[in-house]
Amino acid sequence: MREALTYLPQILPAYIAYIIAVVSPGPAIMAIIGTSMTHGRKAGMTFSLGIFGGSLTWAIAAAAGLATLLQTYAMALELLKIFGGIYLLYLAYKAFRAVRSNGELTATTEGPKTPSFKSLILRGYGIHVTNPKAIFAWLAIIALGMPQGAPASVAVLIIVVCCTTGFLAFMGYAVLFSTPHALKIYRGARRWIEGAMAGFYCFAGIKLLTSNI
């Protein structure tokens, strides 16, 4: 690992690129925000754990060269893109149903029924791992921070540092958007928030299905 530290000047730009990517609103971040405001802090953090698992999966896959394999077998990438788009549209449907549900939240109501721990983990993991663009983002980050001839420990260091930052960021979003103030906003604008989530998921799903990766 000491040898990897000598590559810090090359790793720093990759780390900056990751920070920009992790703070940019996307399906994963928007889903964390929506889950935290809808179901509370515990659910948001559980969902974030699933997102983190998906990010870690793509990080390891990129380091192992899976992106090259997917580019070689174009059909596998196409199927992944279709599955991801359909999954996002399914989430849009779920959010739309929440918009149409009858009844307003009361002071003693925390919100819609909270999904199980397993369901939240799998839902978060599914959003991130079915987005093929994520692996190319990770591939770019590792390529940027790992010059030719660098030891494998450099890739390990990049993954550890970036994933630690990502974990803290995801959990931070969950905590921030599950505060009493955020929940108060949610109670007052539940239908608008769910409608925005439905529209965002629908847009992201259609964009993924029609994109050329």
- 143 pLDDT band, cuts 50/70/90, is confident
pLDDT at 56 over 90: yes
CA distances from 100 to 32, 79, 94, 96, 207 (A): 21, 32, 10, 7, 25
State the DSSP string of 19-51.
Answer: HHHHHS--HHHHHHHHHHHHH-HHHHHHHHHHH
Q: For residues 55 and 24, what is the distance between their CA atoms, to the nearest angstrom?
A: 14
Q: For residues 202 and 184, what is the distance between their CA atoms, to the nearest angstrom?
A: 26
- 103 pLDDT band, cuts 50/70/90, is very low
- Specify the pTM: 0.71
pLDDT at 168 over 90: yes
pLDDT the model gives residue 110: 45
Q: For residues 157 and 145, what is the distance between their CA atoms, to the nearest angstrom?
A: 10
pLDDT the model gives residue 121: 96
Higher pLDDT, 174 or 34: 174
Q: For residues 185 and 1, what is the distance between their CA atoms, to the nearest angstrom?
A: 47
As separate numbers, helices (DSSP H) first and strands (DSSP E) second, the chain gives 11, 0
